[in-house]
C-alpha cells in the first residue's frame, strides 16, 4: 500500500493551478476568453478549498447609499450571516457589509495591471458599510467596526525581470484605501503586505498553494462581517 504524502498533495495542488493557467494562456487566442479562463481557475480553487462560510464569485458590490463597485473578478463574501444577494442572467450583486476580500485576476502583471487592480479594490473599500448592535441571549453586543477588506491580484506570470523584484514593490501602493494585501504570481511566488503597509515578495516553489494557505490564515484572523442594517437598503423601495 502506498503511503500518503502531504508535500506531494500540496505540490500537486499548485501544479494543477499553474498548469491550467498556462494552458489557458497558450491555447486560447481571444483576450476576453483567456481572461475568463484565468478567472475560472482561481474561482475553482477558492470555491473548492475555502471553508463553507465563505462564498466566492465574480460580482459587483453595492452599498446602502446605492453606490456600486467595479466588477470584481474574485470576490469573497459571507453567506452565513449576510442576506440580500441579487442574481440575474449571470450577474451577481452583493452588499458591501458581506465582503471579506476582492481580487483581480490577470494572465500577466506589470505596473499598469497593478494600478488597475488597486483601483478595483479601492472601488469596494470606498463603499459604505452599515453595522448594527448584535442581540444575544443575555443582552446586546455593541455594533462592530467593519474590518479591513483584503485586496489582491492573482496571475500566472510577471512582465518584470526579475519577476518579483524592486520594480514590482515600487508599483505597489501602501495606502490602506487601495493597497494590495496579498497576491500570487503562480509561476514565481507570492506577495504580501503587513498591517503597516510594508510589502514583501517571496519566491516560492508552490505559489498557488502558499497563497491559498496564507489567504485562509488571514480570513481566520479577520472578524466576522458586521450585522447588516437591511432596512437601510429597503428605503430604495419607496
Q: Which residues are catalytic?
A: 73, 104, 106
Cell numbers of 15, please? Answer: 501544479
Q: Hey, how many other C-beta atoms are within 10 angstroms of the C-beta on 183?
A: 27
Taking the CA of residue 154 as centre, how many other CA atoms within 13 Å lie in the half-sphere pointing to its CB? Answer: 30
Separation between Cα atoms, residue 163 and residue 19, nearest integer Å? 18
Separation between Cα atoms, residue 71 and residue 116, nearest integer Å? 12
Q: At what angle do helices 6-27 and 31-49 cross, to 10 degrees?
A: 160
Separation between Cα atoms, residue 24 and residue 14, nearest integer Å? 16
Cell numbers of 194, please? Answer: 503587513
DSSP state of 68: B
Chain centroid to CA 47: how far?
12
Amino acid at each position: 500500500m502506498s503511503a500518503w504524502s502531504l508535500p506531494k498533495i500540496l505540490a500537486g495542488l499548485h501544479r494543477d493551478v499553474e498548469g491550467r493557467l498556462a494552458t489557458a494562456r497558450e491555447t486560447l487566442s481571444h483576450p476576453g476568453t483567456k481572461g475568463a479562463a484565468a478567472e475560472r481557475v482561481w474561482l475553482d480553487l477558492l470555491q473548492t478549498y475555502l471553508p463553507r462560510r465563505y462564498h466566492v464569485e465574480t460580482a459587483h458590490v453595492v452599498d446602502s447609499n446605492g453606490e456600486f463597485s467595479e466588477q470584481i473578478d474574485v470576490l469573497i463574501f459571507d453567506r452565513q450571516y449576510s442576506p440580500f444577494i441579487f442574481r440575474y442572467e449571470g450577474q451577481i450583486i452583493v452588499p458591501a457589509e458581506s465582503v471579506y476580500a476582492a481580487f483581480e485576476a490577470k494572465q500577466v502583471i506589470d505596473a499598469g495591471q497593478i494600478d488597475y487592480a488597486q483601483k478595483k479594490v479601492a472601488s469596494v473599500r470606498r463603499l459604505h458599510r452599515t453595522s448594527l448592535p448584535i442581540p444575544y441571549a443575555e443582552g446586546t453586543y455593541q455594533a462592530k467596526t467593519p474590518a479591513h477588506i483584503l485586496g489582491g491580484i492573482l496571475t500566472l506570470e510577471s512582465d518584470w525581470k526579475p519577476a518579483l523584484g524592486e520594480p514590482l514593490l515600487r508599483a505597489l501602493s501602501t495606502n490602506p484605501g487601495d493597497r494590495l494585501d496579498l497576491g500570487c504570481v503562480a509561476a514565481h511566488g507570492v506577495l504580501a503586505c503587513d498591517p503597516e503597509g510594508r510589502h514583501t515578495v517571496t519566491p516560492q516553489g508552490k505559489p498557488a498553494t502558499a497563497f491559498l494557505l496564507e489567504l485562509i490564515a488571514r480570513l481566520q484572523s479577520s472578524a466576522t462581517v458586521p450585522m447588516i442594517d437591511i432596512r437601510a437598503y429597503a428605503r430604495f423601495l419607496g
